[in-house]
């Protein structure tokens, strides 16, 4: 041990029975002896830590006595928070460092580890209420409608704005048809009015207080897109995640928080939405606004005949973690990720590059391609020599009879203004599951990973009707069901999905 403690055995026994708390002067010695931090010790002994002091440091638990100075654990500002504070200063016209002071004031005075996180409370508001509120706010016209679908158990609605020629695409994701390209389009300098400034400061304070993961990374923003069953062609430009996180990404929380008192909002009721996405024209005019987005895919893996099934697809579903900045506690397909570059901003523009990277990160445990964990130091993180075994096996067999990635639908998410590429990843060779099925493991972005059989028709229909689905996740799930029924009818007994717009 790092220190020798002289503690009475009777006192120790009373501690263990919970009759007394350890004397304050003993805690630092005990922490040293156990080689843990005082914060860890407070957790072990159920001792409440002191409130957070500032963004720069947190005072942890030891009361000062005449011979025992207080102990302070320093907690530097994360790079993501530092970038956010500088961005707010610049966009709101504040003096350098003023955003930090304001966020510090907002963060003080609360337990840094509350019993209920705000993202958990917001997740209690179901997709149906969110979709109904958006339908009240927007007026739909010219054939533009949110995606809906009917199954045996009833009608499902989403906030994905789409049209019939953007659905059931069955579009192979690859070099010949994945025609998204980087454009050197200039980005207008972002500005915040008072409402936008206060909302951005509140988001930063919430991230700081509750320990949510926020990093600054490059994203692609969509400038224009042509997509059909014949292929896709579009232009992208670069954007910062911080810009998105402190503007458009605030619209979901604003709406969810407002639903409790105003379930049918109208223009004028939601200040942030009134500024960033006031009407359908603003949603569709992606060339003049920040339109970030992503790709998400229903993953289906062929399994051989067993005592239970005559051969099926394993379907993977995730519940998003409390620690993710958006979509927390919502159900979604997996993989799911923002469309953005990892190293090469030009070569990573095709949507297939994002899907392949997210498979490595979210399914096969590649932490070195997770830009929220650390900066990439490799010149080519997706080089064949660095791929995980499961991914390398697939890449060696670029044959649709072995596996495929397809885009099944496209739309704009009214909730955030994001573009969404609903996709499907199908592994048809049963050998892959036999060799690598045990290596699938979701990363920190998931609270848990669920698995379903493509033959469990009623169970999958029940799953689709769970209220916790993210709107884009449900969109990808339902479009995936329709396409899987066409690809592998001998392996599936899926709910019948009839979509409408």
User: In this predicted model, what pLDDT tens digit does every residue of 364-394 receive, in sequence order?
Assistant: 988 888 766 566 678 888 999 999 999 999 9
Q: Could you tell me what percent of the chain has a pLDDT over 90?
A: 62
Would you state the pLDDT for residue 277?
A: 97
> How far apart (Å, rounded) are the C-alpha atoms in residues 492 and 278?
42
Q: Quick one: pLDDT band at residue 453, thresholds 50, 70, 90? A: very high
Reading the block at residue 307, the tokens are: 């005592």
pLDDT at 71 over 80: no
- Categorise residue 419: left if φ over 0, alpha if ψ from -120 to 50, beta otherwise: beta
pLDDT at 201 over 70: yes
Would you state the pLDDT for residue 210?
A: 78
- Categorise residue 70: left if φ over 0, alpha if ψ from -120 to 50, beta otherwise: beta
Residues ≥6 apart with Cβ < 8 Å to 17: none
Q: Quick one: pLDDT band at residue 130, thresholds 50, 70, 90? A: very high
With H, G, I as helix, E, B as strand and everything else as coil, classify residue 24: coil
Phi, psi angles (nearest 5°) of residue 455: -100, -5
pLDDT at 200 over 60: yes
Would you state the pLDDT for residue 475?
A: 98
Instruction: Pick the range with the lowest mean pLDDT from 42-51, 156-165, 207-216, 320-329.
Output: 42-51
Would you state the pLDDT for residue 326?
A: 60
- Angle ∠(483,486,488) on CA atoms, nearest 5: 105
pLDDT at 289 over 70: yes
CATH node for 127-190+291-500 = 3.90.79.10
Instruction: Pick the range with the lowest mean pLDDT from 98-112, 170-184, 316-330, 432-446.
Output: 316-330
Would you state the pLDDT for residue 73?
A: 43
Residues ≥6 apart with Cβ < 8 Å to 5: 26, 29, 30, 33
For 215-262, the pLDDT digits (tens) are: 888 999 999 999 999 899 999 999 999 999 999 999 999 999 999 889
Helix (H) or strand (E) holding 253: helix 250-259
> How far apart (Å, rounded) are the C-alpha atoms in residues 422 and 407?
6
Would you state the pLDDT for residue 8?
A: 46
Nearest to 416 by CA among 324, 323, 294: 294
Instruction: Pick the range with the lowest mean pLDDT from 133-137, 362-366, 445-449, 461-465.
Output: 445-449
> How far apart (Å, rounded) are the C-alpha atoms in residues 424 and 427?
10
> How far apart (Å, rounded) are the C-alpha atoms in residues 131 and 118?
20
With H, G, I as helix, E, B as strand and everything else as coil, classify residue 245: helix
pLDDT higher for 198 or 445?
Answer: 198
Phi, psi angles (nearest 5°) of residue 493: -140, 75
Would you state the pLDDT for residue 328?
A: 63
Q: How many helices (H) and strands (E) does the chain have?
A: 17, 16
Domain span(s) for CATH 3.90.79.10 in the chain: 127-190+291-500
> How far apart (Å, rounded) are the C-alpha atoms in residues 72 and 61?
8
Residues ≥6 apart with Cβ < 8 Å to 432: 301, 302, 390, 393, 394, 402, 403
pLDDT higher for 297 or 326?
Answer: 297
- Categorise residue 143: left if φ over 0, alpha if ψ from -120 to 50, beta otherwise: left
Tell how far CA 437 is from the center of its chain: 24
pLDDT higher for 66 or 217?
Answer: 217
Q: Could you tell me what percent of the chain has a pLDDT over 70?
A: 78
Average pLDDT, the chain: 82
> How far apart (Å, rounded) are the C-alpha atoms in residues 7 and 113?
31
Three-state SS string over 77-99 comes to: CCHHHHHHHHHHHHHHCCCCCHH
Helix (H) or strand (E) holding 72: strand 72-74
> How far apart (Å, rounded) are the C-alpha atoms in residues 404 and 320?
25
Would you state the pLDDT for residue 375?
A: 65
Would you state the pLDDT for residue 125?
A: 78
pLDDT at 267 over 90: yes
pLDDT higher for 68 or 159?
Answer: 159
Instruction: Pick the range with the lowest mean pLDDT from 196-205, 295-304, 439-448.
Output: 439-448
Helix (H) or strand (E) holding 194: helix 194-210
Q: Quick one: pLDDT band at residue 54, thresholds 50, 70, 90? A: very low
Length of the chain as a residue count:
501
Phi, psi angles (nearest 5°) of residue 196: -65, -40
Q: Quick one: pLDDT band at residue 50, thresholds 50, 70, 90? A: very low
For 136-171, the pLDDT digits (tens) are: 999 999 989 999 999 999 999 999 999 999 999 999
Give the relative orientation of helices 457-464 and 471-487 as an angle to the nearest 10 degrees.
150
């Amino acid at each position: 041990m790092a220190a020798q403690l002289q503690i009475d055995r009777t006192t120790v026994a009373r501690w263990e029975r919970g009759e007394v708390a350890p004397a304050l002067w003993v805690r630092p010695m005990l922490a040293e002896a156990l080689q843990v931090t005082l914060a860890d010790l407070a957790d072990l002994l159920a001792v409440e830590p002191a409130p957070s002091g500032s963004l720069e440091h947190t005072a942890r638990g030891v009361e000062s006595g005449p011979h025992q100075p207080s102990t302070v654990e320093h907690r530097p500002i994360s790079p993501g928070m530092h970038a956010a504070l500088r961005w707010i200063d610049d966009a709101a016209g504040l003096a350098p460092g003023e955003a930090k002071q304001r966020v510090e004031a907002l963060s003080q005075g609360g337990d840094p580890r509350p019993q209920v996180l705000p993202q958990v409370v917001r997740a209690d508001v179901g997709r149906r209420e969110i979709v109904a509120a958006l339908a009240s706010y927007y007026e739909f016209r010219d054939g533009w409608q949110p995606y809906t679908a009917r199954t045996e158990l009833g009608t499902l609605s989403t906030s994905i704005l789409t049209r019939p020629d953007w659905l059931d695409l069955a579009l192979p994701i690859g070099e010949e048809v994945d025609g998204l390209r980087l454009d050197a389009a200039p980005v207008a300098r972002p500005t915040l009015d008072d409402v936008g400034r206060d909302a951005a400061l509140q988001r930063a304070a919430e991230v700081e207080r509750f320990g949510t993961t926020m990093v600054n990374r490059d994203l692609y923003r969509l400038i224009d897109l042509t997509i059909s069953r014949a292929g896709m062609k579009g232009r992208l430009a670069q954007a910062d995640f911080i810009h998105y996180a402190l503007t458009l990404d605030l619209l979901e929380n604003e709406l969810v928080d407002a639903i409790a008192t105003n379930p049918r909002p109208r223009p004028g009721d939601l200040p942030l939405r009134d500024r960033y996405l006031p009407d359908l024209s603003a949603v569709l005019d992606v060339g003049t606004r920040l339109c970030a987005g992503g790709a998400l895919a229903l993953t289906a893996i062929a399994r051989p005949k067993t005592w239970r099934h005559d051969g099926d697809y394993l379907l993977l579903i995730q519940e998003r973690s409390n620690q993710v900045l958006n979509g927390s506690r919502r159900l979604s397909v997996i993989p799911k990720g923002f469309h953005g570059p990892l190293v090469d901003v030009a070569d990573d523009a095709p949507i297939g590059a994002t899907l392949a990277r997210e498979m490595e990160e979210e399914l096969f445990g590649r932490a070195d391609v997770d830009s929220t964990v650390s900066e990439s130091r490799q010149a080519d993180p997706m080089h064949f020599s660095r791929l995980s075994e499961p991914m390398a096996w697939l890449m060696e067999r670029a044959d649709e009879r072995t596996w495929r990635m397809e885009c099944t639908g496209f739309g704009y998410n009214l909730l955030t203004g994001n573009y969404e590429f609903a996709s499907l990843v199908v592994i048809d060779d049963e050998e892959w599951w036999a060799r690598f099925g045990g290596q699938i493991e979701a990363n920190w972005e998931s609270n848990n990973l669920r698995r379903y059989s493509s033959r469990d028709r009623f169970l999958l229909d029940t799953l689709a009707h769970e209220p916790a689905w993210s709107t884009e996740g449900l969109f990808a799930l339902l479009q995936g069901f329709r396409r899987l029924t066409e690809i592998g009818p001998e392996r599936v007994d899926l709910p019948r999905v009839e979509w409408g717009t």
